[in-house]
Amino acid sequence: MSLKDQLLKAGLADKKRARQAEHQKRQANKQRERGESVDDAAARVRQLQAEQAERSRLLNQQREDEARQKAISAQVRQLVMAHRLPRERGEAPYQFTDDKKIQKIYVLPPMVDQLARGQLAVVHGDNGYEVVPANIAARIQERRPETVVVLHQRDKNAPAEDDPYADYPIPDDLMW
């Protein structure tokens, strides 16, 4: 009785492991017949496994990047939809450039001044352009800058144009 049969009879091995051992033995014999050493085959197997692991890592990274981009798009869409300002019945035209083309949207008359002052911004929405507050546009710009079309930045240190005291600077030693 062979060692394999004895181990199977004693219950120390099962048929599946016995077949695997026979398969490995046959593979080793074939490699010896071809002139390959077992070490060369093992090195080739390790190399193939390393290449497969690298491909899997790259594929997983690509999937994660796609999922991250989808999440960012959903966040931007949600911000725009939640904070867009109604401009139905808008009768004042507001013109701006988008991709070297002049675009026109109709907004309410007070919105034109707010857009020019940087208090409001124009962003790409699902159905064209939407008007949102400047702080929301800044949050959108952090996530996806190409979505924000118009956001005028004002210099906070610059005096207002209609300031009557602009010519009179405040002294440094002034005590209140």
42 is a domain residue: no
Are residue 88 and residue 32 in the same domain, yes or no? no
Residue with tokens 């390790």: 46
Note the pLDDT tens digit of each residue in 41-80.
778 888 999 999 999 999 999 999 999 999 999 999 999 9
Q: Is residue 115 part of a domain?
A: yes
Do 89 and 146 belong together in one domain?
yes
The structural domain count of the chain equals 2
The whole domain housing 23 covers: 3-36
0.75 exceeded by the pTM? no
pLDDT tens digits, one per residue of 88-145: 888 899 999 988 899 999 999 889 989 988 899 999 988 889 999 999 999 999 999 9
Other CB atoms within a 10 A radius of the CB of residue 10 amount to 8
